[in-house]
Amino acid sequence: MRTRTLLALVLLALVAGCATAPRQTRNICAVFEQRNGFFSNWQHEAERAEKKYGVPVPILMATMYVESGFQPNARPPRTKLFGFIPWTRPSTAYGYSQALDGTWDHYQSATGNWAARRTNFADAIDFIGWYHYSNSQATGIQLNDAYSLYIAYYSGPKGYKRGDWRSNAQLQKTARRFANMASTYQQQLQGCD
């Protein structure tokens, strides 16, 4: 009986830890400390994606910070019909990475990771690394150029190369915020235990 109770408590703790965003998200050391579990170790998963794709951990984590605020079930807010009736969402973006349905399908096909879920941190961080790497290959953006990587993440490689983003002041502002967050995370990461 005691074993079953202990197992139930462990499972409950695991589920509770996975179901919400970390409380402190502006400090990468705190994020990693809050998600340093036996089954889900965010620092380990982020470092694995960095090793696999060459995208620095601070850029990977800043992407997730800006895109979803580390919320596993994040979605764009619904539009309003007649200004007050909840209606459709502006895109299919979903999960930690805010990957669109088609882009996620392409990731699964390209990597063979058919079981990947956008609500799973390990899968989402791998997607982010893969997508930044793919965009780098398609556009020539350096893997440490946070500003340009974010523009391409949002616009896609074709949109980036066409320069669609040059007339989008909001996107440029978000990309600057993203680059600043990646820089902050980089500085913080050097002091993590």
Residue 6 in domain: no
Read off the pLDDT of each residue in 82-99 and give the average, rounded to a whole number: 79
Residue 10 in domain: no
Element (H, E) at 81: strand 80-81
DSSP letters of 35-58?
TB-SS-BHHHHHHHHHHHH---HH
Residue 13 in domain: no
Least confident of 61-75, 79-93, 107-121: 79-93
**pLDDT classification of 85: cutoffs 50, 70, 90:** confident
49: which residues sit within 8 A by CB, 6+ positions away? 55, 57, 60, 125, 126, 128, 129
Contact (CB, 8 A) for 146 and 62: yes
Residue 111 in domain: yes
User: Tens digits of per-residue pLDDT, 58-75?
Assistant: 999 999 999 999 999 987
Q: What is the pLDDT of residue 123?
A: 97
Residue 16 in domain: no
| CATH at 160 | 1.10.530.10
Residue 174 in domain: yes
51, exposed or middle or buried, with CB in 10 Å at 0-12, 13-18, 19+?
Answer: exposed
Residue 17 in domain: no
Counting the structural domains of the chain, the total is 1
What's CA 51's distance to the chain center, in Å? 16
Global pTM reads 0.87
Q: Which domain holds residue 55?
A: 23-190
Separation of alpha carbons 129 and 27, rounded Å? 20
Residue 108 in domain: yes
3-state helix vs strand vs coil in the chain, percent to 5: 65, 5, 35
Separation of alpha carbons 143 and 182, rounded Å? 12
Q: How many of the other CB atoms lie within 10 Å of CB of 191?
A: 9
Contact (CB, 8 A) for 49 and 41: no
User: Tens digits of per-residue pLDDT, 178-192?
Assistant: 999 999 999 999 988
